[in-house]
């Protein structure tokens, strides 16, 4: 938010006016500065949380904190240091590591902020969305769209962690948060071998149920994307003859609603990127912010000129209009979630090559 | 088209008027009848061509007729007996059996009528669409959309036949047929192991290339649907808990453009139906016509009260507003193509339960 | 429809095959010709009906034929001479002159073919559409969309004629004609001063009822376009600084659904053109056909090289892919209706400059 | 933004964990509260600024402050008392009174936040948008959509004030603000008698230029809505037979893009409401916030149980999920702008009758 310029001159009539305006809850534009900036001003800063530390801290939380404590989820939320101490990873996005111990369950609730889970490692937990159990394993993407009931179950012997992303800060900024706790107790038995969602919409590309729903939902009806499919889609792109993908060393898949081709949820775009070793491309910046979870590989990213080495499990916040370069030292698989659908829907999306000379500072 | 009523009365002034109108290429409405019917009047009749005969006649054509004769395709077109002797299966749709012998090729051309191929048996042929080779095997659906270059190649030792459907009669009725012969000679070598189309759009459900095309096409970019996927999609529907599919014994998949969820081409809807033995449902009728190819199984259909036994390879024409019942004696897999997208786009689609008492006549 | 080539060669096996195919209602592609043409083959021919003759014949019909005779409308339908003697103006479109005498009424009915009325002269009749009375006066466009009840009333002392256009041939070709006669007797009293449709949707540009309908219709809810508005819209285009309109001498308005900007009905595009004297432009051709009603002015059109002089009340049929040039000798106002929305919806619309040298034959 | 619960228990291991988390810019969910609320929590409060005071303060600003001071606009911005002292009327919306003196000009600039002007009284100023001069008079709505150049000119002898609304807080929250100052000096002469925008798109309802733009804009091409049209549209609604409008005493027009029927800009809905004296309706609440400018009439609104008397020129902020009742004592005309299109695009729009018993407190 802009700050007021207190350059009140000596004119007593003007001082009186300023006083009367303040009393009436009005502000003179001529006393304000910084309202309109040449390019976007992001409140958050580029930031990286290390996977190694997240895992270690998640494990300690698993030992010390019962799952049913505040919030009913054992969650470490990313707190961007420039966002005023709040628990938000960037201005529109919440990011977190969630940890579920053996035979634990996180009970049902629903809320208008939409959520997604990208599994960084392990398997065995399943998430129930509106009564449909969805298996979670490394590389899977599981959606819990706005206002769907959801609960997490770990029937096995090993703990499991995953990356959570929500549009909570955005929905809070739009003053549209609704929350409802679920019925107790949650079911601990279900067969997530394949969900109804996947049986209906996940059998293959371009195959939809013949009977169309009377009222389509705002989100994708396919609530789980399996890593095997995503991996194959990325690998396939590199084998298309004469494709740009091969030339650039960058394959790139967008998770889509199979009934519409739109993003899986109206507020968040989910993508998987694969960068071949040696990949290099000009720096880019765009409006909107994103969170990246490093799934496989090693390399570094350069964010507004600062280099960050990355390794599996790292989580990265990229605020709006940050210049981004990705360099793969080993084949890199990166999951990203962004608010791009919001900016596109409102016709506020822009991107450009970051032509300013990028001088990379030493690695952090 | 309506016929004129020649009930000219005795009034000589009226006779004069009628004569003058005819001379001016005008017709008096009061002398016309049959213009507007309470329900649709189809010109074509329900009809079934037997697969056994089609195969036998296709083989004889393969022996006697070179592929490069008139039309550059060895094709037996379905001629609905009530369509005035023309080669059309129904008012809007062309259906045919195409036969390609060992080491033959059908050279490239393109036309605004869209075409599709559903493979009834065999494998080995590949179809090149705009330079992209697409493998054809039993149960596969291959698209050659409007104005795409296409050619067929049989590098192997066995002949192969498939079902062709085109919207040619519709596009002719709309007076929008364009045709262009292709360059000679056509390539005889390509690797259709997996097409660029499938590599980009066929890796899995809900996975799209990250980079969006600058100008989306009017048709699906996924030009081949493999039988393995279709079969799995049908089978999956029967395993969804409490699904209507299980109750009715009818699974039903619509082939869709993965980038939009729309039909694969703007003029033709493609679907695959599986009916469990004992399936029974009330007769239905809808506007628009369809062609059905029997892929697997045995049973019969009842079309406007007449029973037709069906077996693999049979082709069936169902004109607009024909009452249809399907009865499976063995598990039935039926491929259908219809002009439903046209009727929907123009807001002319209607369907209803055929409540009139259906008295089934003896099987033909 | 294509014709068969009867070039049966001497080979008796081939003759046998051809005989067996015919018996099975199959046709060999190699015996067919003319299926696919390089450019569209229109069945109808370019044609002009003279307004002077239409008025004279309409008047005689008014004297001789009661309105409630066959079809319940006193209508002279345009019969394109190459359409096999049927009452259709072009392949997809019905055009006609309708005549209603003083104190006559054409009773209510509805049908899936959509209709529109463009008033060539006079005033005083009103058309009731689904209970809403719509005033008709010279230059007005009144819609009676698919499956809406409609009836015409002439409470005054003067007869009135107007131009009717329907998509009847198209809907018949799609085998989707439904018809229902209305309840008797029709109301003879209503106040068409301004219809509910116009009160809700016609107050001004870009102004919609705040409460949105629960189920939008496939057609425009604004059922009447007044000439005063259309005239002003055309005139305005000529006054835009530096506009192409002024340079070319051609203003051009499309009648649109104010709630969507789409064409007023899914099957027919309605437009009004104004050509300044001396207007000249390169000949154009496009897929799809149109009917033109000359409202004001004088000049000529050149259709596939043949010149037709035009005067108020003339009706002109332009088949698909006909080269069209319009030359205004006096300021020309032309109303046109076409099936362009159909061709666009099905991705079959094409247009091009008719570059072939146009040698204009003497005027007909 | 939520606050942290500092209820650290005595467990030293837990304290250590909390410390380590803070050091790593992570926050434990179990220490946070207030993240998810049962219903939306608005930061702004319902508020009313009095037109009488706005006019008086605007006049004093006109006397004391040159227009080219900070921001190049003489603007008094509404500062909602609960928004932390910033110049925003509600969380997503900026509202302000703008004052332009005789023969003054506010020079050109452009910015991604979209703006609109609703004229409360007077006339004579014109706003140039991308080179097109738009007349401003009482009751007119003038749009300056995202990233369009705009400047204001007052060629006359009287000062003029109007209501400005921008989506600036929203675009700032989305971190998508771009700004560019315009070229100097601005033109002081142009003929806003009727703008090119109005000549092309404003001639009448349902009339669009025949030639469609190659690239449609995200905003309406009709940049000015004249009060005469709006007034007629409201009045017309009351005359529709049997209409709900008459029963409720509430007419309601939405300003729309004539080429699409969508809201005039992707982020702001503009509406005009007319309430007949004695209007009463149940209280409603919805997600999203709005600003209201009182154009004509007298009465009061009840916002979350508090009554505010209203008079011409008053400006009212209604935060998300505030219960709203409007009571007209004289016929009331209210202009409203809201972020409803944003909530709808993101599938976050909800509304409900405010069933809680509303006890109205004494008028403020």
Give me the residue spans of the domains in chain D. 47-185+197-202+220-353
Per-residue model confidence (pLDDT) at position D5: 45
CB contacts, 8 Å: C219 with chain B: 347
Residue C194 confidence (pLDDT) above 80: no
Q: Kindly state the average pLDDT of the residues A5-9.
A: 50
Touching D (3+ Cβ pairs <8 A), the chains are A, C
Q: Across the interface, do D69 and A38 touch by the CB < 8 Å criterion?
A: no
Helix axes A12-23, D51-64, angle to 10 degrees: 160
pLDDT < 50 regions, chain D: 1-7
CB contacts, 8 Å: B197 with chain A: none
Task: Please compute, for residue D203, the number of CA atoms within 13 A of its CA located in the half-sphere on the CB side.
Answer: 27
| Cα–Cα distance, A61 to B18 (Å, whole number) | 96
Name the closest residue on chain A to residue D171, using Cα atoms.
A348
Per-residue model confidence (pLDDT) at position A8: 52
Per-residue model confidence (pLDDT) at position D278: 85
Residue A223 confidence (pLDDT) above 90: yes
Predicted confidence (pLDDT) per residue in D94-153, tens digit: 999 999 999 999 999 999 999 999 999 999 999 999 999 999 999 999 999 999 999 999
For residues D268 and D23, the answer to whether their CB atoms sit within 8 Å is no
Please give the DSSP secondary-structure letter assigned to residue D263. Answer: B
Q: Across the interface, do A226 and B207 touch by the CB < 8 Å criterion?
A: no
| Cα–Cα distance, C27 to C20 (Å, whole number) | 10
Per-residue model confidence (pLDDT) at position B186: 58
3-state secondary structure of A36: coil
| Cα–Cα distance, B64 to C9 (Å, whole number) | 12
Predicted confidence (pLDDT) per residue in C216-266, tens digit: 899 999 999 999 999 999 999 999 877 778 788 999 999 999 999 999 999
Per-residue model confidence (pLDDT) at position D1: 47
C-alpha triplet B63, B68, B69: angle, nearest 5°: 80
Please give the DSSP secondary-structure letter assigned to residue A261. Answer: S
Per-residue model confidence (pLDDT) at position A301: 96
Query: What is the share, in percent, of chain B residues with pLDDT greater than 90?
Result: 80
Q: Across the interface, do C204 and D229 touch by the CB < 8 Å criterion?
A: yes
Residue A4 confidence (pLDDT) above 50: no
Name the closest residue on chain B to residue C345, using Cα atoms.
B345
Predicted confidence (pLDDT) per residue in A226-264, tens digit: 999 999 999 999 998 777 787 889 999 999 999 999 999
Lowest mean pLDDT across A10-19, B257-266, B305-314: A10-19
Per-residue model confidence (pLDDT) at position B363: 63
Residue B337 confidence (pLDDT) above 90: yes
Q: Tell the CATH topology of B47-182+195-202+222-353.
A: Jelly Rolls (2.60.120)
| Cα–Cα distance, D313 to D122 (Å, whole number) | 12
Per-residue model confidence (pLDDT) at position D3: 46
Q: Across the interface, do B37 and C346 touch by the CB < 8 Å criterion?
A: no
Q: Which helix (H) or strand (E) holds C4?
A: strand C3-4
In angstroms, the separation between the Cα of residue A302 and the nearest Cα of chain B is 21
Residue C358 confidence (pLDDT) above 60: no
Name the closest residue on chain D to residue A11, using Cα atoms.
D64
Name the closest residue on chain C to residue B51, using Cα atoms.
C24
The band of B6, judged by pLDDT with boundaries at 50, 70 and 90, is very low
**Is C4 exposed, middle or buried (CB count within 10 Å of its CB: 0-12, 13-18, 19+)?**
middle
Please give the DSSP secondary-structure letter assigned to residue A146. Answer: T
Q: Which of B198, B202, B205 sits opposite A222 (nearest CB)?
A: B205
Lowest mean pLDDT across A258-267, B330-339, C354-363: C354-363
Q: Which of C239, C244, C259 sits opposite D261 (nearest CB)?
A: C259
CATH level 2 (architecture), domain D47-185+197-202+220-353: Sandwich (2.60)
Per-residue model confidence (pLDDT) at position B321: 97
CB contacts, 8 Å: C60 with chain B: 13, 17, 20
In angstroms, the separation between the Cα of residue A90 and the nearest Cα of chain D is 10
Per-residue model confidence (pLDDT) at position A3: 46
Per-residue model confidence (pLDDT) at position B4: 46
Mutate to test the interface with C, among D207, D219, D222, D235 (most CBs of C within 10 A): D207
Nearest CA to B354 out of B314, B324, B312 is that of B324
Chain B meets chain D (3+ C-beta pairs below 8 A) = no
Per-residue model confidence (pLDDT) at position C148: 97
Residue A356 confidence (pLDDT) above 80: no
| Cα–Cα distance, C191 to C137 (Å, whole number) | 15
| Cα–Cα distance, A72 to A63 (Å, whole number) | 16
| Cα–Cα distance, C307 to A286 (Å, whole number) | 57
**Is D208 exposed, middle or buried (CB count within 10 Å of its CB: 0-12, 13-18, 19+)?**
buried
Predicted confidence (pLDDT) per residue in C104-155, tens digit: 999 999 999 999 999 999 999 999 999 999 999 999 999 999 999 999 999 9
B154/B6: higher pLDDT: B154
Q: Across the interface, do B176 and C69 touch by the CB < 8 Å criterion?
A: no
Q: Which of D205, D252, D264 sits opposite C210 (nearest CB)?
A: D252
Q: Kindly state the average pLDDT of the residues A44-56.
A: 97
Q: Which of A74, A174, A348 sits opposite D171 (nearest CB)?
A: A348
ipTM above 0.85, yes or no: yes
CATH of region C47-183+218-353: 2.60.120.10
Q: Kindly state the average pLDDT of the residues A36-44.
A: 95
Per-residue model confidence (pLDDT) at position B3: 46
For residues B268 and B116, the answer to whether their CB atoms sit within 8 Å is yes
| Cα–Cα distance, C49 to C318 (Å, whole number) | 12
Per-residue model confidence (pLDDT) at position B356: 54
Per-residue model confidence (pLDDT) at position C1: 47
Token code pair at residue C84: 């096999």
Mutate to test the interface with B, among A206, A207, A326 (most CBs of B within 10 A): A206
Average pLDDT of every residue of chain C? 91
Predicted confidence (pLDDT) per residue in C74-104, tens digit: 999 999 999 988 899 999 999 999 999 999 9
Predicted confidence (pLDDT) per residue in B213-228, tens digit: 878 899 999 999 999 9
Mutate to test the interface with B, among A205, A336, A340 (most CBs of B within 10 A): A205
Q: Across the interface, do B65 and C173 touch by the CB < 8 Å criterion?
A: no
Per-residue model confidence (pLDDT) at position D247: 81
Q: Across the interface, do C176 and B54 touch by the CB < 8 Å criterion?
A: no
Q: Kindly state the average pLDDT of the residues A331-350.
A: 98
Q: Kindly state the average pLDDT of the residues A67-88.
A: 90
Q: Across the interface, do A177 and D57 touch by the CB < 8 Å criterion?
A: no
Q: Across the interface, do B38 and C342 touch by the CB < 8 Å criterion?
A: no
Torsion of CA B328, B329, B334, B336, to 10 degrees: -40
The band of B286, judged by pLDDT with boundaries at 50, 70 and 90, is very high
CATH class of the domain comprising A47-182+194-205+220-353:
mainly beta
Per-residue model confidence (pLDDT) at position C183: 80
Nearest CA to C174 out of A63, A150, B93 is that of B93
Per-residue model confidence (pLDDT) at position B212: 83
Predicted confidence (pLDDT) per residue in B93-105, tens digit: 999 999 999 999 9
Residue C357 confidence (pLDDT) above 70: no
Q: What is the 3-state secondary structure (H, E, C) of chain B?
A: CCEECCCCCCCHHHHHHHHHHHHCCEEEHHHEECCCCCCCCCCCCCEEECHHHHHHHHHHHHHHCCCCCHHHCCEEEECCCCCCCCCCCCCCCEEEEEEECCCCEEEEEEECCCEEEEEEECEEEEEEECCEEEEEECCCEEEECCCCCEEEECCCCCCEEEEEEECHHHHHHCCCCCEEECCCCCCCCCCCCCCHHHHHHCCCCCEEECCCCCCCCCCCCCCEECHHHHHHHHHHHCCCCCCHHHHHCEEEEEEECCCCCCECECCEEEEEEEECCCCCCCCEEECCCEEEEEEECCEEEEECCEEEEECCCCEEEECCCCCEEEEECCCEEEEEEECHHHHHHCCCCCEEECCCCCCCECCC
| Residue tagged 């703990």 (tokens) | A159
Predicted confidence (pLDDT) per residue in C327-348, tens digit: 999 999 999 999 999 999 999 9
For residues C78 and C125, the answer to whether their CB atoms sit within 8 Å is no
Q: Which of D208, D229, D252 sits opposite C209 (nearest CB)?
A: D252
| Cα–Cα distance, A298 to A363 (Å, whole number) | 14
C-alpha triplet B301, B303, B309: angle, nearest 5°: 30
């Amino acid at each position: 938010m802009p700050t007021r310029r207190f350059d009140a001159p000596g004119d007593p009539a003007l001082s009186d006016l300023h006083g009367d305006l303040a009393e009436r809850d009005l502000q003179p534009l001529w006393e304000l500065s910084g309202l309109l900036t040449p390019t976007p001003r992001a409140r958050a800063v580029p930031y990286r949380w290390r996977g190694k530390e997240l895992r270690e801290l998640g494990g300690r939380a698993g030992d010390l904190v019962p799952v049913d404590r505040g919030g009913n989820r054992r969650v470490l939320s990313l707190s961007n240091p420039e966002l005023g101490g709040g628990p938000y990873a960037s201005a529109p996005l919440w990011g977190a590591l969630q940890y579920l111990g053996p035979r634990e369950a996180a009970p049902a609730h629903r809320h208008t902020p939409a959520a997604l889970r990208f599994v960084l490692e392990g398997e065995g937990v399943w998430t129930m969305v509106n009564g449909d159990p969805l298996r979670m394993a490394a590389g899977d993407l599981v959606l819990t769209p706005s206002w769907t009931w959801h609960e997490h179950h770990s029937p096995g012997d090993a703990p499991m962690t995953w990356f959570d992303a929500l549009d909570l800060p955005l929905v809070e900024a739009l003053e549209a948060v609704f929350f409802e706790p679920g019925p107790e107790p949650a079911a601990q038995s279900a067969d997530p071998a394949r969900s109804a969602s996947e049986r209906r919409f996940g059998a293959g590309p371009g195959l939809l149920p013949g009977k169309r729903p009377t009222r389509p939902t705002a989100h994708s009806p396919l609530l789980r994307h399996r890593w095997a499919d995503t991996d194959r889609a990325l690998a396939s792109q590199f084998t298309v003859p004469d494709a740009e993908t091969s030339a650039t060393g960058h394959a790139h898949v967008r998770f889509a609603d199979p009934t519409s081709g739109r993003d899986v949820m109206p507020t968040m775009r989910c993508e998987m990127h694969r960068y071949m070793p040696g990949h290099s491309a000009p720096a880019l910046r765009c409006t909107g912010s994103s969170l990246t979870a490093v799934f496989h590989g090693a390399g570094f990213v350069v964010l507004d000129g600062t280099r960050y080495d990355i390794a599996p499990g790292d989580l990265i916040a990229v605020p709006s209009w940050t210049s981004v370069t990705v360099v793969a030292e080993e084949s890199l698989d990166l999951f990203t979630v962004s608010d791009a659908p919001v900016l596109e829907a409102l016709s506020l999306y822009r991107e450009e090559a970051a032509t300013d000379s990028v001088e990379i500072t030493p690695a952090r």
